[in-house]
Amino acid sequence: MDEIIFKVRENSKAINKAVHIAVGLRRDGLKEVLGMRLGKNESAAYWMCVLTDMKAHGREDILISHSNIRSPSDPQ
């Protein structure tokens, strides 16, 4: 799961819009886009809604792996 920010024009103004992407890893090792949503920001509640929606649409065995984990003691 990740967020990509795009600058878009809305009402003659340039604003930021976020596209949230959920990517899965299939059993054969290939990646698959599970869903994309246009949203305002990332939050735990938002991602829980995304995961609940994917489960409601038939996704099973949702396991989460995070590759950008940092310790509070890591330098910024």
Global model pTM greater than 0.85: no
- The pLDDT assigned to 12 comes to 93
What number of other Cβ atoms are within 10 A of residue 22's Cβ?
20
34 lies in a domain?
A: yes
Given a contact cutoff of 8 angstroms between Cβ atoms, the answer to whether 20 and 3 are in contact is yes
62 lies in a domain?
A: no
Q: What angle do CA 10, 13, 18 make, to 5 degrees?
A: 55
66 lies in a domain?
A: no
C-alpha atoms less than 13 angstroms from C-alpha of 19 in its C-beta half-sphere:
9
Q: Name the residue range of residue 10's domain.
A: 2-56
Six-digit token string for 2: 């990740």
Q: How many folded domains does the chain comprise?
A: 1
Instruction: Name, in order, each residue with C-beta under 8 angstroms of 2's C-beta and a sequence gap of 6 or more.
Output: 20, 21, 23
40 lies in a domain?
A: yes
Mean pLDDT, rounded, for 39-67: 74
User: Which of the two residues, 15 and 2, has the higher pLDDT score?
Assistant: 15
